[in-house]
Amino acid sequence: MADESKPFFPVEKAHHVKPPPPRRPRLNTQESRFWRCFRHSELASGLILPVTALEFSPVAPFHLAAACSAAVHLYDGGASPSLAPLPHSPLSGFSDVAYSPSFRCDGSLLAAGGESGIVQVFRLDKAGPPLRRLSAHARPVRFVRYPRLEDKLHVFSGGDDALLVYWDVPSETQLITFPGAHRDYIRAGSPSPTSPEVMATGSYDHSIKIWDVRVPSSSNAILSFSHGDPVESVLFLPSGGLLATAGGNVVKIWDVIGGGRLIHTMEGHNKTVSALSLGRVGNASTALGGGEPRLLSVSIDGYMKSFDFAAFKITHSMRYPAQLLSIGFSPSGNSRVVGTSNGVIYMGMKKKLLQEEKGTGSASVFDGYAPEPKKQVLKPTNYRYFHRGQTEKPRETDYPIKRAPKVKLAEHDKLLKKFRHREALVSVLSKKDPTSTVAVMEELVIRKKLLKCVANLDVDELGLLLRFLHKYATMPRYARFLMNLANKVIEMRPEDIQSNKHLSKHVGSLRRRVAEEIMIQRSLQEIQGMISPFLIIAGR
Amino acid sequence: MITGGQRFVASPPAFSQDGKKLLVCTGCTVSIYSVSTGMQITELEGGHTDRVTSVVVVPVGAPSSKFMSYCWTSSLDGTICYWDFASAELIKKVKIQFPVHSMVIPSLSTIGSTEEGSNLYAFLSVEDINKPASEKKALHGQVRIYNLKNQKPVGGLLTETRNPEILYASKNGEFLGISNKRKLHIWRIPANNFRFDEIKKIKLHHTKKLTCLAFHSTLRMVAGGDDTGRILIWYNFGREKFAQNLQNLKGTKNPSDEAKPGVRNNDDVDSCTTWHWHPSEVKFLHFSSDGAYLYSGGNEGVIVVWQIDTGKKKFKPRLGSPLLYFTESPDPSLSCVSCSDNHIHLLKMPTMDISKSISGIKPPFSFPLKHEGSCTQVAFEQTTGLVAVSTEDYCVQFYSLFDNHEVSEVQVCKRNFQPADDVMLYVALVAISLDGSLMATIDVTIPEEKLGGLVCLKYWTRGSLVAEYLLSTVIYEPHSDAQVSSLAFRPGHNMAVTSSYGGDFKVWVHGSHAGRNNESMQRTGWRCQSVGSYKGKPLTAAVFSADGSILAIAAETMITLWDPDSNILVAMIGDTLSPITKLSFVGKSEYLVSYTHSLKPQLSVWSTSNLALYWSHGIVTEAVSCSHDESQFAVLALLSSPGDADAKGNGVIFFFHVEDPVPVATWTVTKAKGGSLAFLPANPSLHESSATNGVNQLLLVFMNGKHEYTIFNPHKEENIISKNSRKSQAAQDEAERLGYTSIYGDLSNSNAKHNHFQEVPFAPSERPWETIFSGSSHALPPLTKLCTSFFESLLEKRLENSNEMIIDADL
């Protein structure tokens, strides 16, 4: 049963009711703790040009490809404190701006589109000219994708000429073309994670279409639905049954198997959502599929949001000081990168790198058991022995009883509680916060002790009081009270003020302040006198 | 007729022997409250005709008498009554002839003394009414002994004091004490059947006036508190005088040779120590039942717990008002403290958390003199029958008139209350809109030598519960530094008016306006719609008409009528002799009633249709209330002029029909000074019968200057509204019986021989089977242990049954 006696009211709250503080997001969730364990740094490409795409290689050590201006920069995903450029980076075989790098499923080749309309395929183990140049598009190619599953021979590409092509890379031939696949620029697409033949594309004509290369090319897309805004990014979710599309300032989740049914609309962003990526949250090694999957989205408004598509809830959001165009999340879970419109790549590296447990994992499969590290038993000779169990967290079944929150009192409140009025006044005067100072003074008035306090102040403390008065006495909010107080103080302590040079200086400046205020009041009255005839005339 | 608002803290309460009931003296009756719910169970009435001054519960001696719940009460009407408080029956009445101010029955404390044959001696502190009251120096107080068995006084006077003092007895009944000016008188009372001359007495001296004392529960130790806040503890008092065996004493060396630290006047004690924490008078002292702690309290509203061996202190602060009494229950985990704001807090003992509060209506407090005119302490909420009382600790208390208990409390100023001599901050005005959805309060800070005065207008909106109000708008200095004279809501609109002595009135409306920045939500609040004044005169009263179409404002002697929407002066009426104190529209009629409060008192009825005085009386009016629908009003008039210093405060309630200057009915009342009146609709839940008649009955409530109130029907000569319809409210938690109890109760009742014992109330017995078998099976103690406790409970029940038979045989 709660104690029904009255709470202690600190003096501040008595007057000047403040609005409640704005609601702050709770920073203590597991999710936010996960996002906070990244160390932040910047990767500068050296150019103030937008980073249009960021792509992580699907195999270890998870290299990163970033498309920026007329080059694709490659970074070593295995580099320890932060990503480092690979020796043959950047890939420069582009005559114009490079777009949409895409790794092959084994990570050894990279295809990229470009402003010139040519899709080029590079090898990643050493520098050199492009292996293949696939030219069919007449306009810039903004969308190039390898199928995600074990298909090493084909590539999808879509361009601003609304043409979608399914390439056979070795022979540089177009297996299937879909002319007029969309009625506007094709800017986004995603290969299905379950089938190498299926591809989703999104276009500026607001529509998302799903294509299957096994059906005859004469027929149209197997599925088509409208996002409602120009589509900037399309992403299949890991199951292959759900599709996330970004366009305008919303992200929509669609049920592809159910015939393109809209499942959820996420409206967390204020400006156009520019890119989507998959991430995994949790401290288990994400390379092994640990952690919870999240949909990461970045927007022109500078926010990166983490969306839990199992619970349809935004679980975290992070702000960057620039417009964000692209995002990548390393499959190892060690790093995440966002690309901005001014050429900066913001990188977060995990402070404690997740161990590549592949070796030990396979060993444990062979051995049948994993050797557990031996735990040292605490002995009474150890200092920590006496602190054991103090940091124990409650289990789920435990019912925690909260300790009554400790009331934090300001020093003047503590002194007022002890009826040490002069000390309370001095302590709040030295804090230099006018609101609480006036509140303490009003409390002293209610206790009929203010004048006694003023009479008892010594010279230094009187100096504090006079300084406060000269600073705030003419502030309209406190003037009615403080001007009277200033009068009283000068009446009560004339000898001290005359004998001390500092005090008389304060009084002098107080006098100047008051004279100024009188001038202001006079001119305001003049203005009022001038205006009031007009107002009366206007009122008629 | 319903009465209520009695003072719960006029005398110390007492716990029943099982610690589940609390007996509280409420005026002429004793109310019994349940400790677990804090609600009233029953009331002992019909025995006393004046204030009950003390309650002594007869303790349970042998376990056989566990059902017994008897108590003795003493009263100022000179009687002592013996009650069965479980069934609220008066058993015996003893006449004393003198007003009894305090009674203790020490021999009750010794277990088993209630048996036959032994005499029952009550020690009474009575007032000698034979001596004239004008003799200031005469000794009015007497301590007498009375044998309650044969109803005869025993011996002469024990002592005489200037005023009747409160008696204190030690826990084992061996010692009795009073504080008399700067001395403590302590008597040692022999065991049963003593002669009067066996009683011995010692005196302990101090240099200050002693206010209270307490005996240690086991040791020969007595503590006394004085009016400067000091607590003195005398160790081992009366070693010479109270020694049982004189020979033994002579064998020891003379103790006067020893050093007696701290002892004055060579008193008969070993030593005396002094503790000082309280800044003012100590109101109560109480030794804990284990004797390790001493509780003390006083004006500053803090219970101090002293560890007796070390003198270390623990505190229970912020109880909100001066403390009066501390009572410990037989249950060591429960005690209660009575506060002077008419609250009794039940404390969970080691932690001293308040588990429940028995809260009466808070008493009035004194306003600073020069501000008295502009204060109303009481506002009535018509729809639900609540009264809002502004209290000393900056709250507004909502009190249900029909149910006679507190509903809620709204903290107006967030400030810690410290009892002080002069009020510097107070809630001056409270107004509640007709439907109860809005409340406005004005709190005033009195300046310290013209420095820092503040008037603050606060608007509140009702929350989800009845009488739960949330702060909506705060307006500092609504009329710059002028005092606000009145505050009224417009019926049917979100509009209010304040008038000030500074000569202007403001009409406030509730509206929504966009916040300063677009991001913030739309904010709603009260703002000033219009300002008006009349010839710069101080405006003394303001009121809206019943339909809200007219605003009447009194500008000293003139009444001005305004259109509240357009703020246009419509008309002016008449001229009184002196400034008008209050205005009120009479129902929906065209008449306006006003009264003035100065040296030329006048009650006037004005007609707004022909703008003239209709009729008037020259009576000193204290309050006026108009019924909302009908053209009737009631006036509370004082029988003495306001200048009279020694006004007794008797008054008359006149019930007028507005057409007729001759009152329809009159009633005389006491303590009318500071009283108030209001019409209330009959509470339909309580009075179905009147509702079925189809007559919309209005009841009149009169609240006197001490916040005691009476509700009656002004239309009927006979007051037929039965009292205590509220009894149904009491939660009979003891009544519920479950499981085996019900079975066993049925068994005993089915016995035809004991049929008439159905009235015998069952003390709630422990029901171990409710708890011992609950829980998961692996956590249960072994079955053998459970079985014993289970069977023990059954055995106990059997014993109780046999007890009934014994009682039956006795009768």
Condensed to tens digits (0 to 9), the pLDDT of residues A60-71 reads 778 888 888 888
pLDDT at B326: 92
What count of other Cβ atoms lies within 10 Å of the Cβ of residue A497?
A: 20
- The alpha carbon of residue B560 is apart from the nearest alpha carbon of chain A, in Å, by 25
The encoded tokens of residue B10 equal: 């006029």
User: Closest approach of chain B CAs to the CA of A212, in angstroms?
Assistant: 48
The CA distance from B303 to B288, in Å, is 13
How far is residue B604's CA from residue B312's CA, in Å, rounded to a whole number? Answer: 65
Q: How many CA atoms lie within 13 A of B300 on its CB side?
A: 19
Q: Give the whole-angstrom CA distance, residue B265 versus residue B206.
A: 9
Q: Is A325 left (phi over 0), alpha (psi -120 to 50) or beta?
A: alpha
DSSP state, residue B780? S
- Ranges of beta strands (E only) in B640-725 are 651-657, 660-669, 676-681, 698-703, 709-712
Q: pLDDT by residue (tens digit) across A299-335?
A: 998 898 988 888 888 888 888 888 889 999 888 888 8
**β-strand partners of B398:** B388, B408
Helix (H) or strand (E) holding A178: strand A173-178
Residues of chain A contacting residue B341, judged by C-beta atoms under 8 Å apart:
none
Which pLDDT belongs to residue A349? 83
CA A80 to the chain's CA centroid: 24
A184-211 residue pLDDT tens? 899 899 998 888 888 899 999 999 999 8
Q: Which residues pair with B662 in a beta bridge?
A: none
Sign, CA dihedral B393-B396-B397-B399, equals positive
Residue B702's φ and ψ, nearest 5 degrees, are -115, 125
CA distance B585 to B628: 9
Residue B746, classified by CB atoms within 10 Å of its CB into exposed (0-12), middle (13-18) or buried (19+), is exposed
Amino acid at A493: R
**DSSP secondary structure, A364-421, as one string:** HHHHSSPPPPPPPPP-TTSGGGGGTTTTPPPPTT--PPPPPPPPP--HHHHHHHTT-H
Exposure string (b/e) for B794-810, b if CB count within 10 Å is 16 or more? Answer: eeebeebeebbeebeee
DSSP label at residue A24: P
Residues A415 and A437: their CA atoms lie apart, in Å, by 14
Rounded to an integer, what distance in angstroms lies between the CA atom of residue B436 and that of residue B384? 8
B689: Cβ contacts below 8 Å, ≥ 6 apart: none
A102-130: pLDDT as tens digits = 998 888 888 999 888 889 998 888 777 88
Selecting from A4, A447, A480 the residue whose C-beta is nearest the C-beta of B354 gives: A4
Task: Give the pLDDT of residue A358.
Answer: 43
For the beta carbon of residue B612, count every other beta carbon within 10 angstroms: 10
The strand ranges marked E within B417-483 are 425-432, 438-445, 454-462, 469-476, 478-481
Distance, in Å, from the CA atom of A56 to the CA atom of A63, rounded to the nearest integer, reads 6
- A122 neighbors A110 (Cβ within 8 angstroms): yes
CA-nearest of B97, B98, B38, B100 to B72 is B100
Mutate to test the interface with A, among B415, B425, B471, B523 (most CBs of A within 10 A): B415
Question: CA torsion sign, A312 to A317 to A320 to A322?
Answer: positive
Amino acid identity of residue A313, one-letter, is K
**Six token digits for residue B622:** 């204290």
R_g over Cα of chain B = 31
In three-state secondary structure terms, B216 is: coil
CA–CA gap between residue A169 and residue A154 (Å, rounded): 6
> CA of B471, closest CA in chain A: separation in Å?
10
Ranges of chain B with pLDDT below 50: 113-115, 245-253, 255, 514-522, 645-646, 686-694, 718-739, 741-743, 745-764, 798-811
The token duo for B582 is 């209050």
> Looking at residue B809, what is its pLDDT?
42
Q: Give the pLDDT mean for A87-92.
A: 77
Length of chain B: 811
The whole-number pLDDT of residue B418 equals 78
The residue type of B19 is G
Chain-centroid distance, C-alpha A262: 27
- What is the pLDDT, as a whole number, of residue B113? 46
* A interface residues, B as partner, C-beta within 8 Å: 1-9, 11, 13-15, 17, 441-443, 445-448, 450-451, 480-481, 484-485, 488
Please judge whether A445 and B345 are an interchain contact, meaning their C-beta atoms are less than 8 angstroms apart.
Answer: no
Beta strands of B162-307 (E only): which ranges?
Answer: 168-169, 175-180, 183-188, 200-205, 210-215, 221-226, 230-235, 271-276, 282-287, 293-298, 303-307
User: Which residue in the set B355, B416, B453 is minimally distant from A8, CB to CB?
Assistant: B416
For residue B582, is it left (φ>0), alpha (ψ between -120 and 50) or beta? beta
Angle between helices A434-446 and A421-431 (to 10 degrees): 160
Q: Which residues of A69-103 are buried (b: 16+ CB within 10 A; e: fewer)?
A: bbbbbbbbbeeeebbebbeebbbebbeebbbbbbb
Structure tokens at B503: 């000569």
Interface test with A, best of B362, B414, B519, B530 (most A CBs within 10 A): B414
DSSP letter for A8, please.
P
Which of B414, B422, B448 is the closest to A445 by Cβ?
A: B448
Mutation target among A1, A15, A465 for the B interface, most CBs of B within 10 A: A15
pLDDT computed for residue B350 by the predictor: 80
Give yes or no for a contact between B473 and B526, defined as CB atoms under 8 angstroms apart.
Answer: yes
- Distance between CA A101 and CA A149 in Å, rounded? 17
CB contact under 8 A, B320 and A5: yes
Q: What is the pTM of this model?
A: 0.67
Integer Cα distance of B269 and B286 in angstroms? 20
B422 near A CB under 8 A: yes
Which of A152-166, A221-235, B362-376, B436-450 is predicted with the least confidence, judged by mean pLDDT? B362-376
Residue B370 tokens, joined: 């020069």
A416 Cα to chain B: minimum distance (Å) = 11
Contacts of A6 in chain B (CB under 8 A): 318, 320, 393, 411, 416-417
In angstroms, rounded to a whole number, what is the distance separating the alpha carbons of residues B211 and A376? Answer: 67
Task: Provide the pLDDT confidence category of residue A526 given band limits of 50, 70 and 90.
Answer: very high
Q: Which residues contact B596 (CB under 8 A, 6 or more apart)?
A: B576, B577, B578, B579, B580, B581, B602, B604
What pLDDT is attached to residue B48?
86
Sign of CA dihedral B606, B609, B611, B612: negative
Residue-wise burial string across A272-292, b where 16 or more C-beta atoms lie within 10 A, e elsewhere: bbbbbbbbbbeeebbbeeebb
Residue type, B111: I
User: How long is chain A?
Assistant: 540
Inter-chain touch A14–B445, beta carbons under 8 Å = no
- As a whole number of Å, the CA-based R_g of chain A is 35
- Across the interface, of A6, A481, A488, the residue whose CB is closest to B318 is A6
pLDDT digits (tens, 9 = 90+) for A446-469: 888 888 999 988 888 999 899 999
Residue type, B463: G
What's the mean pLDDT in A503-514? 90
ipTM of the predicted assembly exceeds 0.90: no
Model pLDDT, residue B182: 87
Are B314 and B288 in contact, with CB atoms under 8 Å apart?
Answer: no
> What residues of chain A lie within 8 A of the CB of B321, using their CB?
none
How much of chain B is in helix, strand and coil states, percent to nearest 5?
A: 10, 45, 45
